[in-house]
Structure 1
């Protein structure tokens, strides 16, 4: 009989206390899983904010060419992509860092800059990893609730900052809400940053917001502040490379890039992802077609939701966030049976909210019809 058989230890105790208390990230279901589970042919995957138009045509060619060299390690410095991004963004090449998705950079940043007893200020509802990674590093996360209308409560965010705050970390446009800060609000936060506090500005949905009249030049404002920052963006959303996992950060100083690079794995961006990102970056026309599609469909879907007496928060991203009279998890299960994947929110106080991605016209129509059906069923069940 083995020692494990004799003692049967509680394996959770092998993990650090910070990890034992973590909830798993809600990554959602794949279309394949839903098809198999419910016996469906047609599934609308609208839970992960993916791009329904797919990547630029040149991406597949670039990937095929890169595959011919997969026996070789990729460029650890992402040299060609680094140069192209630096030119596009008008930043020095040594002010860029790269991650296996921007989530990879969130993990690295938490491990580089946080220690036990440190505090992180973010907002709720939140992108789950803004909590999970700092807590895993031993920090305390203070979540500032957004206002009832979905806007940032900047006075409350300012009040939450203290001498213990090491990171101010949040997404803008907000994930999951879709709202943004204006220039004055961003300036207030920058002016109030405590000493030894790093701003981590998660701008994963930047491309969808950049052409909106009220969306400020956040990078320019943050750069002009002189405060230390990491601004995160990604190729997963507007550039439609979610399956390849590639994101990047713009930093205020090369030393921050050096510190982050010390904890990233040496070849964290594979050869195929680098080639695909370079090709996607070069096709502005395809990018703009995707942005126009989202802007048009976002408006149409918001109007259709309002007709169902469900009112989405005004969004600058490629998704809509809305509350219903019912628990989101119950609606989610009913929608899955109809072949529609959305994201039910599970944070306390927000369990009646759903987030739906802007998909193709056909997928959006399937969602709207399914939602109308399940809402009617729930109303009938609860009133009877």
Structure 2
């Protein structure tokens, strides 16, 4: 008899982007352009860095377990009450809390494929039946299929918007129509990790507009992407006070670290950094799209800080060849798309290096 939980036998491990240090060592390189993990090429706000330096002297003191100041600031910024905000150790912990709060063994959860792998991992680990439904030919969530799979066992519907790894958004009208028919007993989880990049499109649905009318809704966001605090692991979610209260019971006492909380608070005071990040992202992706268009490479129109593109050759081979040239990307074969790669936006220099390297391997 195995000593391990039975669900682990069929569980696939999440594979993160390859670390810079590993690639440098493997290929004897002295510099690397990492465009694999959707990180902010500008780094964190200077205000966040200053807050980190100030707070470093206090790390012998436990953090505020309730994250009161950060929750209050987020609530005020978004026009909701503080008891509708939960802070987590990255979006990853929020997803784990969602699964452990709602899912009993035998319950069903629904999500698109490909999408963020942790929906499956966190749910199947505790005995859920995961209904993974392929995206449509134009890379949208197949909401008709979602609806067809709803039943009395359905507990959570996950919708990643913008979707990862494809980067596209669901049209507002389609999403609102689907949600209007979703049974109130089903928890709707809207993953808006890339919210700040997408909100400029008038066809993007802000999940907070849904939460106002539908209490069994959870909206996931993060400081890892646009705020550039990926290494500090601060994610958050908005929901009804009842859901936040129940999720908080299992979050842990000091789940959000002290430095991370202070950096996140400072980040909320730096709108200019967010604006600069979003502007650079557009510039970088536009440069890539010019190259893709010139070389007949199909891509998904992105509303995030990465782009999903068909490079007309094996992503397995391209992944290795790009690394040899000092560029790390995510190969599409990981999601079942053999000729696609996912590339994060970068600085102008990083983008130029990527385009040059891609050009070399596709000639």
* TM-score of Structure 1 vs Structure 2, range by shorter chain: over 0.9
Matching of residue 135 in structure 1 with residue 96 in structure 2: no
- Taking the aligned partners of 1:89 and 1:18, their CA distance within structure 2 comes to 38
User: How much has 1:227 moved relative to structure 2?
Assistant: 4.3
Which residue of 1 is the match for residue 8 of structure 2?
Answer: 19
User: How much has 1:196 moved relative to structure 2?
Assistant: 2.4
- Taking the aligned partners of 1:32 and 1:367, their CA distance within structure 2 comes to 18
User: How much has 1:208 moved relative to structure 2?
Assistant: 0.3
Which structure 1 residue ranges, 5 or more long, are not aligned?
A: 1-9, 377-384
Which residue of 2 is the match for residue 5 of structure 1?
Answer: none
Which residue of 2 is the match for residue 382 of structure 1?
Answer: none
Which structure 2 residue ranges, 5 or more long, are not aligned?
A: none
Matching of residue 200 in structure 1 with residue 189 in structure 2: yes
- Taking the aligned partners of 2:34 and 2:271, their CA distance within structure 1 comes to 25
- Taking the aligned partners of 1:112 and 1:218, their CA distance within structure 2 comes to 20
Q: Deviations over 1:159-179 (max 9, x none)?
A: 222221100012101111111
Residue pair 2:190, 2:207 contacting (<8 A) in 1 also:
no
SS in 2 for 1:65: helix
Which residue of 2 is the match for residue 323 of structure 1?
Answer: 310
Q: Deviations over 1:156-204 (max 9, x none)?
A: 2222222211000121011111111222212122122234210111000
Which residue of 2 is the match for residue 6 of structure 1?
Answer: none
Query: Which one has the largest radius of gyration?
Result: 1
Q: Which range moves more in the overlay, 84-93 or 320-329?
A: 320-329
Which residue of 1 is the match for residue 73 of structure 2?
Answer: 84
Matching of residue 58 in structure 1 with residue 47 in structure 2: yes
Residue pair 1:302, 1:320 contacting (<8 A) in 2 also:
no
Which residue of 1 is the match for residue 349 of structure 2?
Answer: 362
SS in 1 for 2:236: strand
- Taking the aligned partners of 2:295 and 2:129, their CA distance within structure 1 comes to 40
SS in 2 for 1:322: strand
User: How much has 1:262 moved relative to structure 2?
Assistant: 1.1
Which residue of 2 is the match for residue 30 of structure 1?
Answer: 19
Which of 45, 61, 80 is the equivalent residue of 1:72?
A: 61
Matching of residue 235 in structure 1 with residue 231 in structure 2: no
User: How much has 1:368 moved relative to structure 2?
Assistant: 1.1
Residue pair 1:46, 1:358 contacting (<8 A) in 2 also:
yes
Figure out how many residues of one structure are paired with residues of the other and give that number.
363
Call closer, same or farther: CA 1:161–1:324 in 2, change over 3 Å. farther
Which residue of 2 is the match for residue 246 of structure 1?
Answer: 234
TM-score scaled by length of structure 2? 0.96
Q: CA RMSD in A?
A: 1.5
- Taking the aligned partners of 1:91 and 1:98, their CA distance within structure 2 comes to 15
User: How much has 1:91 moved relative to structure 2?
Assistant: 0.6
Residue pair 1:165, 1:194 contacting (<8 A) in 2 also:
no
User: How much has 1:333 moved relative to structure 2?
Assistant: 1.3
Q: Which range moves more in the overlay, 132-141 or 346-355?
A: 346-355
Q: Which range moves more in the overlay, 70-79 or 187-196?
A: 187-196
- Taking the aligned partners of 2:124 and 2:147, their CA distance within structure 1 comes to 21
Call closer, same or farther: CA 1:86–1:172 in 2, change over 3 Å. same
Residue pair 1:130, 1:170 contacting (<8 A) in 2 also:
no
